[in-house]
Structures are given as C-alpha cells and as structure tokens.
C-alpha cells in the first residue's frame, strides 16, 4: 500500500512550478472530458479538436470567443477586487442587470444626444446604478453585520425582477406585439463593431479598465491597503486603515464594473433591453475570478478561455451531436482540477517511509 502524506512547503511554489501545475490540471480535465466523450460514443481526439476549432480555430471563432469574453471579463474584474478584500460579492448578476437598466434609461430618454455625449452618459449611469447596488450590501454588512453573500445573492433577484418589471411594463416597445423588450436604441446609443470584425469597441473598455485596475492594485496606497486589509482585518484596523470605507469602496467599484458590462451588453450586443440579456455572466465571473486567482491579467486570459469553451461546445454540438450538458461538465472539471491543483502552491505530497 502506498503511504502518502501532505506536507507544507517551506516556500510557496514559484512561477514555473505554478504554471506546470496549471498545465497538468488542464491536461487532466481535458483527458477526463475526452474519456467522457469516448463513453458517449464520440471519438475523443476529434471531439476535442472540434471543440478547439470552434473556439479559436478560425478568425470568426476567435472573434466570437473574444466577444463573449467581454462581459465576463468586466464582471470578473469587479468581483475579483471585492474578493481580494475577502468580501464575497455574489451580486455581479444583479449589478449587471441594474447597469443595463441604467444605461437603457439614458438611451431611451435622450436618444438624440450625439454619441460622444450619450455613450459616456450611459456608462456613467450604468456604473452608478451598478455601484449603488453594490453599496447597499456593503453598507448593511458594515453597519448591521449582515452576511454579504446572502444579501448580494438576494439582491440579484430583486434587480432582475426590476428589469423584468420595466421591460414587461413601462418600457415595453409598443410595436413588439406585447413581447417584453424595449424599443431598439438609436444609433447614437450603440457601441459599434471594430471594422469588419464582430468584436465591438468594448474590448478597449476592457483593456483600459483592466490596465487601470492593475495599476491601482500595484501602485496606489489604496490598492496596498486593500491587499493588507484582505489578509488580516484586525491588523489593518490597528494600522489605521479605514476598513469600513474600504469595503464600501470595493463594493461600489465591483458593482460599477458589473454595471459597465451590463451597459456593453445592452448597447453593443442586443441594442435594446430585454430579459434574455441575463445569461448568468455575473455567476460565470465568480468562476473566472477564482480560476485566475484574482489577478487582472489572468482574469483576461481565463475569460477568453472560458468564453472559448462555451463557444466551442456549440461547434461540438453542431458537428458531432454532443449534448449541451457536456459543456457544463467540462467547465466543472476544469474548475475542479485547477482549484485542486492550487493545493500544490503551498503543500506537497510526500511518500511516507514504511518500517
């Protein structure tokens, strides 16, 4: 019998080692999925190559994956900053919804404003609405000691029902035969596509915000306080870091980013507000944030990979008739193996000598 034990490493695993663990984890999850494909009667290598081809194998596929990654990235960037402070914001979904609502309100109220004025106004409103939705649970957490996981989760339902109320009610397009959708936005309120590609200008919002976030965390005092307070609340308080304000700040930033994503989805991809805009990006964002260990650059990569996975699975369905549920399984396997692989950052497995 093999005797193993888990021992703590003297030093955390270096960059090279971490990458190796990540690659091995991904390989393991792909091997397991290949096995599942095999069980389902699909040739595994062909299956995985079809998946890859559908995600990144052509210009179109790549564009589709990047396009889908945009809202995931922004939401994920948002939740990651809250997670850094160990504030568990599960509410990106609701903040996304309110952001879309805020942007839509501006777009419908002032359709004739020129684009250079209208779009920033929509962004500001979306970020304010999303940020406000993030502020409420932060305030309740610090003043009334409520649990932010429960509150943010519950507020998701409130936000989505509010969105439904608007599109089924006052904002319903009179020409839509009673179907729930607002009128289409005016051209001024639409974030356009870049050249002949299917990617919209939102990708530059992502790059800019991601870069800002990286700089904020790395170079500003607030960014440092955030990291310190996340590691040890008591020590941070003792050091004079205003913890309560910090919590509210990150939740507002978190909500504002999710709201921004809501703006981009409403403006660039759907060109109006409708209930089907809610497809769970706020929850996907949590998965991505953890896969990326809360690092902005890794979040970018992880969002594109996860988006690619979802896009590629459609190709797998279309060409090889693999059930849609396979995508969910593959996603779960990757998350599981990568997070489990994280164990090796601080621990190693040793063989125990048997006497």
Partner 1 sequence: MKMLKVVLLLTLSLFLSTANAAEKEMKVGFVYVSPIGDAGYSYAHDLGRQAVEAMDGVTTSYVESVPEGPDAERVILNMARKGYDVIFATSFGYMDPMLKVAKQFPKVAFLHCSGFKQSENMGNYFGRMYQARYLSGIVAGKMSKSNIIGYVAAFPIPEVIRGINAFTLGAQSVNPDATVRVVWTKTWYDPATEKEAAKSLLDVGADVIAQHQDSPGPQEAAEEKGVYSIGYNSDMSSFAPKAHLTATVWNWAPYYTKVVEAVRNGTWKAESAWPGLAEGIVDLAPFGPMVPKDVQDAVNTVKAEIISGAKKVFVGPIKDQSGAVKIAEGVAAPDADLLGMTWFVQGVVGTTE
Chain contacts with partner 1 (rule: CB under 8 A): 45-46, 49-50, 52-54, 57, 60, 64, 67-68, 164-165, 168-169, 177-180, 265, 269-270, 274, 276-277, 279, 311, 314-315, 317-319, 321, 323-325
Q: In terms of Cα–Cα distance, which of 333, 304, 322 is closest to 49?
A: 322
Q: Which is nearer to partner 1, 217 or 264 (CB)?
A: 264
In the complex, least distance from residue 48 CB atom to partner 1, rounded to whole angstroms: 9
In the complex, least distance from residue 24 CB atom to partner 1, rounded to whole angstroms: 16
| Residue 1 CA to its chain's centroid (Å) | 44
Q: In terms of Cα–Cα distance, which of 29, 26, 48, 53 is closest to 37?
A: 48
Q: Which is nearer to partner 1, 52 or 243 (CB)?
A: 52
Q: Which is nearer to partner 1, 52 or 132 (CB)?
A: 52
In the complex, least distance from residue 113 CB atom to partner 1, rounded to whole angstroms: 24
Q: At what angle do helices 221-231 and 243-264 cross, to 10 degrees?
A: 110
In the complex, least distance from residue 38 CB atom to partner 1, rounded to whole angstroms: 16
What is the token pair recorded at 253? 């930033």
| Residue 245 CA to its chain's centroid (Å) | 24
In the complex, least distance from residue 95 CB atom to partner 1, rounded to whole angstroms: 18
Q: Which is nearer to partner 1, 64 or 225 (CB)?
A: 64
Q: Any alpha helices (H) in the chain, and if so which ranges?
A: 15-39, 44-56, 59-84, 92-109, 115-144, 148-168, 202-219, 221-231, 233-238, 243-264, 281-291, 296-320, 325-341, 343-346
In the complex, least distance from residue 59 CB atom to partner 1, rounded to whole angstroms: 11
In the complex, least distance from residue 74 CB atom to partner 1, rounded to whole angstroms: 15
Ramachandran area for residue 190 (φ above 0: left; ψ -120 to 50: alpha; else beta)? beta
57 phi/psi in degrees, rounded to 5: -80, -10
Q: Which is nearer to partner 1, 150 or 324 (CB)?
A: 324
Q: Which is nearer to partner 1, 40 or 57 (CB)?
A: 57
Contact 346, 7 (CB under 8 A): no
Q: Which is nearer to partner 1, 14 or 43 (CB)?
A: 43
Contact 75, 255 (CB under 8 A): no
Rounded Cα distance, 340 and 311, in Å: 25
């Amino acid at each position: 019998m093999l005797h193993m034990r888990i021992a703590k490493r003297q030093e955390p695993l270096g960059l090279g080692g971490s990458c190796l663990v990540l690659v091995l984890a991904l390989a393991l999850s792909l091997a397991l999925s290949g096995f599942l494909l095999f069980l389902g009667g699909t040739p595994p290598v062909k299956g995985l190559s079809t998946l890859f081809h559908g995600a990144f194998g052509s210009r179109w596929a790549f564009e589709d994956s990047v396009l889908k990654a945009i809202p995931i990235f922004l939401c994920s960037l948002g939740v990651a900053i809250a997670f850094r402070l160990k504030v568990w914001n599960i509410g990106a979904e609701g903040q996304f919804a309110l952001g879309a609502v805020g942007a839509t309100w501006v777009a419908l109220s002032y359709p004739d404003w020129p684009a250079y004025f209208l779009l920033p106004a929509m962004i500001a409103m979306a970020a304010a609405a999303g940020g406000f939705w993030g502020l409420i649970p932060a305030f309740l957490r610090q003043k009334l000691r409520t649990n932010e996981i429960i509150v943010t989760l519950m507020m998701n339902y409130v936000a989505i029902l509010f969105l439904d109320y608007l599109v089924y009610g006052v904002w319903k397009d009179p020409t839509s035969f009673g179907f729930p959708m607002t009128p289409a936005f005016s051209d001024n309120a639409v974030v356009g596509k870049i050249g002949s590609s299917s990617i919209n200008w939102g990708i530059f919002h992502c790059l800019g915000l991601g870069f800002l976030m990286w700089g904020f965390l790395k170079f500003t005092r607030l960014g440092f306080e955030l990291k310190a307070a996340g590691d040890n609340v008591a020590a941070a308080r003792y050091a004079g870091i205003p913890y309560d304000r910090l919590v509210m700040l990150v939740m507002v930033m978190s909500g504002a980013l999710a709201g921004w994503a809501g703006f981009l989805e409403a403006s660039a991809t759907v060109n109006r507000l409708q209930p089907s805009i809610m497809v769970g990006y706020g929850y996907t964002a949590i998965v991505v944030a953890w896969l990326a260990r809360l690092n902005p650059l890794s979040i970018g990569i992880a969002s594109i990979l996860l988006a690619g996975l979802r896009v590629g699975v459609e190709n797998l369905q279309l060409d090889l008739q693999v059930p849609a549920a396979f995508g969910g399984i593959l996603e779960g396997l990757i998350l599981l193996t990568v997070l489990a692989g994280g164990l090796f950052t601080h621990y190693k497995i040793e063989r125990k000598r048997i006497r």
